[in-house]
Amino acid sequence: MASGVSHEIELYPEAGTQIIKVKAVAVGGREFDLVDPVKGLSLVRSEYPSDFVFTQDNLTLQVYPLQASGTPVVADVALAPTITAAGLSDALAAAHLQDIAQGAIASIKRIPGQVFSDLNGSAVHQGLFDARLKTVSAKTARGWSAARLSSGRGNFF
């Protein structure tokens, strides 16, 4: 909720997660333009009359113009586990559980001298894990930037 005295709105991700990107913001039920921090600071200095928001640290939103106390501010964000997270919420874990399982199975099958040891089977599971890791990494990289990744063949759409 807006305080009515400050442009800053604190974001509180769930325990064990961090916000890696603010994707959209609605203030009082209306979508506000989300601008990058450099443009946001420039608009603040120029006293730009339109509605906009920005964040410099993914922890605090700067909402302009100043909103009345109690105005709801809703941010759609991309979350990731923190480096110190001891676990994941069910919703976040569900998105990656099968991928993590492939890597775990590959590691288990590489343990030598066990009835379940299988280097060929391990390679199959490791390949599935690595392929998914590349896909998720590419999606995460796009989450950090405003631009789409290009295949290098001039297809910019």
Q: Which of 3-12, 32-41, 121-130, 140-149 has the lowest mean pLDDT?
A: 140-149
Q: What is the DSSP string of 52-115?
A: EEEESSSSEEEEESPPPTT--EEEEEEEEE-TT-S---HHHHHHHHHHHHHHHHHHHHTSTTST
The sign of the CA dihedral 12, 17, 21, 26 is: negative
Higher pLDDT, 143 or 19: 19
Question: How does 37-67 read in b/e, with b if 16+ C-beta sit within 10 Å?
Answer: eeebeebeeeebeebbbbbeebeebbbbeeb
This prediction has a pTM of 0.59
Distance CA 32, CA 28 (A): 10
**Spatial separation of the C-alpha atoms in residues 145 and 157, rounded to whole Å:** 15
Q: 156 pLDDT band (50/70/90 cuts)?
A: very low
C-alpha distances out from residue 116 to 40, 101, 110, 125, 130, Å: 57, 16, 9, 14, 21
- Whether the predicted pLDDT of 46 surpasses 60: yes
- Would you place residue 87 in the very low, low, confident or very high pLDDT band (cuts 50, 70, 90)? confident
Better-predicted residue by pLDDT, 141 or 36: 36
Q: Does residue 44 register a pLDDT over 60?
A: yes
Cβ distance 35 to 54 under 8 Å? Answer: yes
Question: Tell me, what's the pLDDT at 132?
Answer: 86
